[in-house]
Amino acid sequence: TRSESRTLRTHSSVRKPAPVLAVCLGVAVAGCSSDDSADSADSSGTFYGQSTDIGNGSARTFVALDAEGNPSEVGIRLTEAALDGLPEHQGKPAEVFTLEFPEQVSGTPFEFATLDWNNHGHEPAGLFDKPHFDSHYFMMDEEKVAAIVPSDPDFAAKAAKLPEPQYVPKDYVPAPVPAVPQMGAHWVDSTAGLAPGADFTQVFINGSWDGEYNFLEPMMTRDWLLTKPSLTEDIKQPQAYQKSGYYPTVYSVAFDDEADEYVFTLGGMTHRDES
């Protein structure tokens, strides 16, 4: 979440022929073996997007697939060094790093991600004004997101057009801030106790634009990440979904000691049908 506009930036001898029976038997055996192998093939694995420099380190997206080749997790890995050498600026928009997903993300609603560094935070004052990262998992393509600008004569109308109630996650309400260019309208959990003066360390935001849910947004402060936290929370779900695909049900933050990376994960992917 932020109040200012931003710029989106991303393998010669000749032999006698074998007897017909032997050839046929060989084909039959090979065919059986091939079919068995196909039926038992394990398609699981973790696939990564291209690395992007951030601070003194880097970040990259990932998608994990289960044995059937269905997405089980998506997320971002941020190296420990990326928390140092970050841009420092006063009165400027957040520094936005665009992260492309590998093609295996296609089974989910997600198109691309961004990691936004807010050196001095943003509104509301007294709440989100700590140095923090906003991670956006967009469900619209980059072109559509880039077109969310105040110069659009229908900007106000599109911002005011909210998703139908069945598509809104439980307890989420529109945030009391204007729609943000190249993002959209923001939604907050009404039970999270978000108000000026609250001790903000991390929070899970939703976003919409022109009646369509268009992003999920975990936010987390730099100071909180420096503690190398371990967090797992359920993601509140709507009653219905605007497009079919695998959606996350769990959000987690962890530190991978072997890789020296922070791991932000949207997991527990469950298939939902458009309705």
What mean pLDDT is predicted for residues 150-168?
97
Asked whether 44 and 178 are in contact (CB, 8 A), the reply is no
CA dist., res. 64 & res. 70, Å (int): 8
Greater confidence (128 vs 83) lies with: 83
Asked whether 213 and 207 are in contact (CB, 8 A), the reply is yes
- Quote the pLDDT of residue 28: 41
pLDDT score of 8 more than 70: no
What mean pLDDT is predicted for residues 229-234?
97
What one-character-per-residue DSSP string does 155-213 give? HHHHHH-PPPGGGSPTTEEE-SSPPBTTTBEEEEETTS---TTS--SEEEEEEEETTEE
CA dist., res. 2 & res. 8, Å (int): 14
Least confidently predicted of 28-37, 97-106, 191-200 = 28-37
Nearest-5° angle of CA 220, CA 50, CA 38? 110
Other beta carbons within 10 angstroms of residue 98's beta carbon come to: 18
Strand partners, 231: 253
For residue 111, give every residue at least 6 positions away whose Cβ sits within 8 Å of its Cβ, in sequence order, or none.
101, 138, 139, 140, 141, 142
Q: State the DSSP code for 274.
A: B
Q: What is the pTM of this model?
A: 0.84
Tens digit of each residue's pLDDT (9 = 90 or more) over 79-125: 999 999 998 876 667 899 999 999 999 999 999 999 999 987 676 66
Reported confidence tier of residue 234, pLDDT bands at 50, 70, 90: very high
H/E stretch holding 231: strand 231-234
Tokens of 102: 């590998």
Helical spans, DSSP H, in the chain = 20-40, 142-146, 155-160, 222-226
What mean pLDDT is predicted for residues 230-258?
98
- Could you tell me which of 105, 96, 90 has the C-alpha nearest to residue 266? 105
CA dist., res. 7 & res. 100, Å (int): 15
What mean pLDDT is predicted for residues 247-268?
98
Least confidently predicted of 1-10, 80-89, 132-141 = 1-10
- The residue extents of the domains of the chain are 43-272
